[in-house]
Structure 1
Amino acid sequence: MRFRLISRASALVALLWSQQPVCAETTLRIAMTASDIPTTTGLPNNGFEGMRFLGYPIFEGLVLWDLTSTDHLAGLRPGLAEKWEQAPDDNKTWIFHLRHGVKFHDWTDFNADAVVWNLDRYFKSDSPQYEVASSAMTRARAPLVGAYKKVDDYTVAISTTKPASYFPFMAVYMLFTSPASFEKAGRDWAKVATLPAAGTGPFRISKVVPRQEVDLVRWDGYWDAAKKAKVDNVVLMPIPEANTRLAALRSGQVDWIEVPPPDGIASLKAAGFTITTGSYPHVWPWFYNIGATGSPFKDIKVRQALNYCIDREGLVTLLNGTAEPSAGWLKASDPNFGSPENRYKFDPAKGKKLLAEAGFTPEKPLVFKAMISTSGSGQMLPLPMNEFLQQNLKEACGVDVEFDVVEWQILLNAARATPDSPNLKGAMVLNISSPSSDVGVMARYFSSANFSPNGFNFEQWKDDSFDNALTALSEASDPAVISGALRKAHERLVDNPPWLYIVHDLNPRAMSPKIKGFVSPQSWFIDLTLVSMQ
């Protein structure tokens, strides 16, 4: 009898359990600012928005960003390498000790052979797996890679062309794809993009629909059990027009939009949506084309003048407070900003005086073309912002600016062109938002060794004092020496400006109240594993 009672009770529990609702899969839908989906072979294009959404969530580096905090600049943490150090007898060689037991999404092993295979993909032009587009981006972000070799199955040595204490901040941009993906696609990277490609990250790509969406699925085989994703799926959609993104959020088509239009923020808040902002290392400038034949920006006075001619506070008002004025590559509050002689603010009289000293007067005004984009990674609202600047420069200092409006990736490609390249169509300025996160980024943007097309010094700007400071901090190990040299380097970026410094944006996003756990780090990048859906 007792046995029958227990059996009946068990059956009743089983019946009740079977009638409980099954937890539905959670899907997070995100509207990006990109006009197309970033490439999906493992090193995405579309700038750092591509890295944010189709880079690190799927494909990882030996070194990763720590994106868990909001109160300080994002630092580095071990990724596919458990640790790294400079070789004791050679400060140009870094030893990376790889993590054991990591699998790509296709269940093949991540090891030293996979690392070398991917480095050949980026840096060895005669390798079967060499990929031109990914190579160009990686070489620009990690221009100091000289040589590399497998030490053993889980150790790799990478040598730089010169000492660089900041090299781990460059290594963070070298991502790794399964070699088996390339073989499965018949050694055709175009086909790898639609397989989809296999990485090692907390999400894997499940579907690619060009110009429409990329679908991600949580990777339950992820090597870091503490960092497994909380949502089941992520859908990434390119929606470049700000008001269209806004409408998609309001209608429930998406749960999260990048860069909401400033005039829609108040109504979104009133409707219960979450608006997130936060300081992060980012600057929205104009790049001066200093190297072009006949460029007016060869004269330092012209470059300084424009920095005094623009009304940054007025632009911040246009953006509804989602940005702050920029007076240099770093924020003025940064301890490494230094003490430059110039403190740029809206001073038309000073701007016009400098222009006159350079030969530009009301009778002979400064006239040039600027290449700008319709949208893009970190570009905020480039059309109304640039129209504001165009009118501002005309009214304040008599400067005439013409725009060549192009798609974001075309603008990025232009930044790797030589100063007189036909691709620039005579542009003397490029409006490209840029990171200001670390010394590695500073070196690749401004070192005279990194002139375009081999690096990101599009301007072909050269300042001996800057280069000397960069060399000093590259070879140093003492934090005080590094910090002092960094301040000196930044002072030169202000006083001998390669850019027109305009604003630092505050990384605005709008989200459904269903989204929980999001952290807005002081970084271009985000940790999607922290996000859940209520």
Structure 2
Amino acid sequence: MTRTLAPSAALSALVLAAAPAHADSVLRIGMTAADVPTTTGMPNNGFEGMRFLGYPVFEGLVLWDLSRTDRLAGLRPGLAERWEQAPDDKATWIFHLRPGVRFHDGTAFDADAVVWNLDRYFKPDSPHYEPPAAGISRARAPLLAGYRKIDERTVAITSAAPASYFPYMVVYLLFTSPASFEKVGRDWAKVAALPAAGTGPFRITQVRPREVVELARNDAYWDRESLPKVDRVRLMPIPEANARIAALRAGQVDWIEAPAPDGIPSLRQAGFVITTGSYPHVWPWFYNIGAEKSPLKDVRVRQALNYCIDRDGLVTFLNGTAEPAVGWLKAGDPDFGAPQNRYGLDPKKGRALLAEAGYTEKNPLALKVMISTSGSGQMQPLPMNEFLQENLKQTCNVDVSFNVVEWQVLLNAGRSAPDSPALQGAHALNVSSPSSDVAVMARYFSSANVSPKGFNFPQWTDARFDAALKELAGATDPATIATATRAAHERLVDDPPWLYIVHDLNPRAMSPRVKGLVSPQSWFVDMTRISVQ
């Protein structure tokens, strides 16, 4: 297997460490990304981009409530102080904008700025349309069908159909100052280096691709109770797990994402703080069901693979930083339901299903999987996939080969058509993903959201799933919503569009100087609470 890493990113950490100390407080973070996320206001690099260069800098009408650890993160007011469904049209939501909010460049955030940004994402003939940001936003909010200004502080956004979970899609739409685009002659490439202005608690002060993004506290932030406790944040891409550990040990960073599991005991012994916690995450293989000659069109093959993998062995291999995944949701989730299949390591059953589908010892199943070297939520993709490669060969005689690419390349492939040249013949993609709410379920599995429109890369269709999703989308009664959600999830298990592997426990390692981190049940963190002492 060919591995393509980015040593320049790790090297940059060493170079930056030599910079002179400053009197102000600086939080230095080693990310898993191979490059800094884009800085025009809709960051790439998945949810790691949103975690560090999305919400801290460019906010949405709706934000995540990241203040608690005892339950899944819900929503809270952001740039909109409240919202509701229109009384005469359940597909239209009215957002009442927060007064007095200004972008980092001093210009006002108002309804015109909202419409301008939505045109940027959803209106291809707009002079400020930004294709990369549009691709990300359209996939995360595939139900958005229209929008309009009502007055200076009120906008209406319409979904393609009534959906009680629509605000959970709006949470991913971020807002950039229109003045940033005008200032550099209407060129998004130049906006990225400006840098762009948002409304968040931090502002970007410096961008060096592949090396670093510097953030500074926004002292004029509209939420006076949430001013950051650090003066600056330095974000550095260090895609290799052991290089991140080395940077932490050497004092070059204060915080690293996803430390190598075998390095965690020695980090603890050396006095570093290790945090873990349950959050809505699943680490799967997305089946490419739609490709013309895909062996995964057969549900027996998809089920068989779910019986052939040793999840418990992989958890042990990961030093307990994950838990087995036997569905999109965790097995203990009340919405998991009662599917007919309860996956576990059962090679006899897996081989029998493969044989029924025509894959025997003399005609073994062969799969090509596109994986990444690193990335947001990707855990330890190279060693984990090598474990699975050997595991599948031993248990069910499945031959697996890999095409190893950078994280953003893999994300782009996930928005491709099933026989696209970008997939290079891949039968599956290893893309970690959230499982936080029904809106995410709709994005990834509804037949209306097949790629490239949404995240349904497998091109999976299941009539019973779609019926359950339609029922819960129009329901307001909690019992009805819960029953429909369970019915939908049962179909995700029994007619699996994915190979469910593990749920990450979100390990981070940091210096004991880092204080105030709350690890919510979310992909995101509240950076304003954190201090460095």
Whether the TM-score (by the shorter chain) exceeds 0.5 is: yes
Aligned residue runs from structure 1 range 507-526, under 5 A: 507-526=506-525
Q: Distance in 2 between matches of 1:39 and 1:394?
A: 39
Q: Distance in 2 between matches of 1:410 and 1:529?
A: 31
1:166-186 deviations in whole A, cap 9, x for unaligned? Answer: 000000000000000000011
- In the other structure, the counterpart of 2:9 is none
Deviation at 1:423, TM superposition (A): 1.0
Deviation at 1:479, TM superposition (A): 1.3
SS of equivalent to 2:40: coil
Aligned residue runs from structure 1 range 45-84, under 5 A: 45-84=44-83
- In the other structure, the counterpart of 1:96 is 95
Aligned residue runs from structure 1 range 400-415, under 5 A: 400-415=399-414
Deviation at 1:451, TM superposition (A): 1.0
SS of equivalent to 1:53: helix
Structure 2 unmatched ranges of 5 or more: 1-21
Q: Which amino acid aligns with 1:265?
A: I
- In the other structure, the counterpart of 1:20 is none
- In the other structure, the counterpart of 1:284 is 283
1:15-63 deviations in whole A, cap 9, x for unaligned? Answer: xxxxxxxx93100000000000000000000000000000000000000
Q: Distance in 1 between matches of 2:477 and 2:112?
A: 34
The answer as to 2:306 corresponding to 1:307 is: yes
SS of equivalent to 1:401: strand
SS of equivalent to 1:338: coil
Q: Distance in 2 between matches of 1:399 and 1:85?
A: 51
Aligned residue runs from structure 1 range 114-153, under 5 A: 114-153=113-152
- In the other structure, the counterpart of 1:369 is 368
Q: Distance in 1 between matches of 2:483 and 2:447?
A: 20
SS of equivalent to 2:85: strand
1:170-216 deviations in whole A, cap 9, x for unaligned? Answer: 00000000000000011000000011100000000000011100000
Q: Distance in 1 between matches of 2:358 and 2:289?
A: 17
1:211-268 deviations in whole A, cap 9, x for unaligned? Answer: 1000000001000011110000000000000000000000000000000001110010
- In the other structure, the counterpart of 1:223 is 222
- In the other structure, the counterpart of 1:359 is 358
Q: Distance in 2 between matches of 1:268 and 1:370?
A: 33
Q: Distance in 2 between matches of 1:419 and 1:24?
A: 53
- In the other structure, the counterpart of 1:13 is none
SS of equivalent to 1:193: helix
Q: Which amino acid aligns with 1:77?
A: R
SS of equivalent to 2:236: strand
Q: Distance in 2 between matches of 1:252 and 1:26?
A: 15
Q: Which amino acid aligns with 2:318?
A: L
SS of equivalent to 1:500: strand
- In the other structure, the counterpart of 1:430 is 429
1:366-417 deviations in whole A, cap 9, x for unaligned? Answer: 0110000000010010000000000000000000001001111111011111
Aligned residue runs from structure 1 range 288-367, under 5 A: 288-367=287-366
Q: Which amino acid aligns with 2:258?
A: V
Q: Which amino acid aligns with 1:138?
A: S
1:457-480 deviations in whole A, cap 9, x for unaligned? Answer: 110000000000000011111111
Corresponding residue pairs, total: 512
Q: Which amino acid aligns with 2:100?
A: G
Deviation at 1:147, TM superposition (A): 0.7
Q: Distance in 2 between matches of 1:31 and 1:99?
A: 34
Q: Distance in 2 between matches of 1:227 and 1:110?
A: 19
The answer as to 2:392 corresponding to 1:380 is: no
SS of equivalent to 2:266: helix
SS of equivalent to 1:503: strand
Q: Distance in 2 between matches of 1:203 and 1:423?
A: 36
1:428-474 deviations in whole A, cap 9, x for unaligned? Answer: 01000000000111001000001111111110000000000000011
1:301-332 deviations in whole A, cap 9, x for unaligned? Answer: 00000000000000001100000000000001
- In the other structure, the counterpart of 2:451 is 452
Aligned residue runs from structure 1 range 170-189, under 5 A: 170-189=169-188
Deviation at 1:87, TM superposition (A): 0.3
Q: Which amino acid aligns with 2:28?
A: R
CA RMSD of aligned residues (A): 0.7
Q: Which amino acid aligns with 1:507?
A: N
Q: Distance in 2 between matches of 1:223 and 1:479?
A: 34
TM-score normalised by structure 2 residue count: 0.96
Q: Distance in 2 between matches of 1:120 and 1:485?
A: 34
- In the other structure, the counterpart of 2:496 is 497
Q: Distance in 2 between matches of 1:266 and 1:257?
A: 15
Bigger Rg, structure 1 or 2: 1
Q: Distance in 2 between matches of 1:72 and 1:455?
A: 27
The answer as to 2:456 corresponding to 1:484 is: no
SS of equivalent to 2:499: strand
Q: Which amino acid aligns with 1:497?
A: P
TM-score normalised by structure 1 residue count: 0.95
Q: Distance in 1 between matches of 2:340 and 2:225?
A: 48
Q: Which amino acid aligns with 2:220?
A: G
Q: Which amino acid aligns with 2:417?
A: T
- In the other structure, the counterpart of 1:268 is 267
Q: Distance in 2 between matches of 1:368 and 1:258?
A: 30
Q: Distance in 2 between matches of 1:47 and 1:134?
A: 12
1:280-314 deviations in whole A, cap 9, x for unaligned? Answer: 00000000000101111100000000000000000
SS of equivalent to 2:29: strand
- In the other structure, the counterpart of 1:162 is 161
SS of equivalent to 2:193: coil
Q: Distance in 1 between matches of 2:452 and 2:122?
A: 15
Q: Distance in 2 between matches of 1:374 and 1:513?
A: 29
Structure 1 unmatched ranges of 5 or more: 1-22
- In the other structure, the counterpart of 2:43 is 44
- In the other structure, the counterpart of 2:240 is 241
Q: Which amino acid aligns with 1:184?
A: K
SS of equivalent to 1:97: strand
Q: Which amino acid aligns with 1:407?
A: E
Q: Distance in 1 between matches of 2:161 and 2:336?
A: 25
Q: Which amino acid aligns with 1:63?
A: V
Q: Distance in 2 between matches of 1:372 and 1:147?
A: 36
SS of equivalent to 2:60: coil
Deviation at 1:422, TM superposition (A): 1.0
SS of equivalent to 1:370: strand
Q: Which amino acid aligns with 1:205?
A: I
Q: Distance in 2 between matches of 1:191 and 1:471?
A: 43
- In the other structure, the counterpart of 1:18 is none
Q: Distance in 2 between matches of 1:86 and 1:397?
A: 51
